[in-house]
Amino acid sequence: GQQVMQIPQYQHVQEGEDFTTYCNSSTTLSNIQWYKQRPGGHPVFLIQLVKSGEVKKQKRLTFQFGEAKKNSSLHITATQTTDVGTYFCAGPPGRDDKIIFGKGTRLHILP
């Protein structure tokens, strides 16, 4: 069945450094979504990418969808302490209506 792999599992960066997490699918995706979960909180939807090669920005966050629509990345420029949390990518549901989440990348910021 469809799988969504996410790397790295953990990332420690110095405050001000950049951060990137990658998401890869075993199949072509019609879209991909990204979520952020703050420590102790619940996942919150960030963005959805639909088009091949699409790039979207939210302030310091840049989201990309690969040309083949099998991979995606989230890049954060000049990390801040507010960026701490776990970032999940998610593929769309198949016939079974289940959205497939990656295992997440936990970002820790060193002061």
Partner 1 sequence: SQTIHQWPATLVQPVGSPLSLECTVEGTSNPNLYWYRQAAGRGLQLLFYSIGIDQISSEVPQNLSASRPQDRQFILSSKKLLLSDSGFYLCAWNRLLTDTQYFGPGTRLTVL
CA distance 107 to 15: 11
Written as one letter, the residue type at 26 is: S
16 or 94: whose CB is closer to partner 1? 94
Written as one letter, the residue type at 5 is: M
Phi/psi for 50 (5° steps) reads -125, -40
Closest to partner 1 by CB, 76 vs 100, is 100
Q: Please, which of residues 65-94 interact with partner 1 by CB under 8 A? A: 88, 90, 92-93
Residue 32 and residue 41: Cα distance in Å, rounded? 22
Which residues in the 7-66 window bind partner 1 by CB under 8 A?
Answer: 31, 33, 35, 41-45, 48
List of residues contacting partner 1 (CB under 8 A): 31, 33, 35, 41-45, 48, 88, 90, 92-93, 96-99, 101-104, 106
